[in-house]
Amino acid sequence: MLRRTMAEFDVKAGLQHVLKRIDEVLLQRPKEVQAARPLLVAVSKTKPAEAVIEAYEAGQRDFGENYVQELEEKSRHPDILAKCPDIRWHFIGHMQTNKINKVLAVPNLRMIQTVDSEKLATKLDAAWSKRQPAPAEPLQVLIQINTSGEDVKSGIEAKDAPALYQYIRSNLKHLNLTGIMTIGAFGFDYSKGPNPDFVSLMQVHRSICEAHSLAPDSVLVSMGMSNDFDKAIEMGSTVVRVGSSIFGHRAAKA
């Protein structure tokens, strides 16, 4: 398991700074943007259990992990199980079909944010339906969209996302499709204007809401990370995934 070797970082102060910044941006967000207050997912990949517990004790409940093995280990860490009973885990990494059962067995699993194909969605639906004891609720999922078109990024193309949305809603009763997400290209220069990845995701959001007669604030939009979550919120993000601003930059070592 990971042990703490990073330079001491005040996790509580980092979390409070991010929450304060979210409040500030909400006050500046254009009134025509119909979106709920963003959910903050603290990205704890490569960070030790102690850091997760510090954030939890400061009030944070939703945590995101990118790697299956690390999610398995951290979610079952005895200290986290004992001290963080209401923790909610989000899987935000690339999902391989052969790892589905491992992820679905994670204690306090809240959401999988990276569904990007009918095949993956169908296998998740089938696997969740077979869980014992039977889950009380459908599995919450988001569709991951590759808005930047980068080969190294997972996600369905933006033009194909509405069809996948329709497929899941119509056919997979064990999944609760709650929205869409993107990672986007890193290091966009905001002096050039709005981030095209965010623009693209909001266009998909709009088309999905119109096609299904859904209120805009009923479909989650997961976009924005430590370097640009404020810009994402301005454009309508309702889930932001923030790591280094909360936990610092240095990772733990095995």
58-104 pLDDT per residue, tens = 999 999 999 999 999 999 999 999 999 999 999 999 999 999 999 99
What is the average pLDDT across 28-40?
91
Task: Please give the pLDDT value at position 184.
Answer: 77
**Residue 6 confidence (pLDDT) above 60:** no
11: closest CA among 247, 252, 227, 250? 247
248: left (phi over 0), alpha (psi -120 to 50) or beta: left
Nearest-angstrom CA–CA distance, 81 and 105: 14
> Is 245:14 a contact under the CB 8 Å cutoff?
yes
> Is 92:41 a contact under the CB 8 Å cutoff?
yes
What is the average pLDDT across 125-148?
95
Confidence of residue 8 (pLDDT cuts 50, 70, 90): low
Domain ranges of the chain: 11-27+35-242
Of all residues in the chain, the percent with pLDDT exceeding 70 is: 94
What is the number of residues in the chain? 254
User: pTM above 0.85?
Assistant: yes
Confidence of residue 181 (pLDDT cuts 50, 70, 90): very high
Nearest-angstrom CA–CA distance, 36 and 217: 6
| Cβ-based burial of 155 (10 A; exposed 0-12, middle 13-18, buried ≥19) | buried
Confidence of residue 153 (pLDDT cuts 50, 70, 90): confident
Classified as helix, coil or strand, 25 is helix
CATH of domain 11-27+35-242: 3.20.20.10
Task: Please give the pLDDT value at position 187.
Answer: 83
HEC states along 54-81? HHHHCCCCEEEECCHHHHHHHHCCHHHH
Nearest-angstrom CA–CA distance, 203 and 81: 40
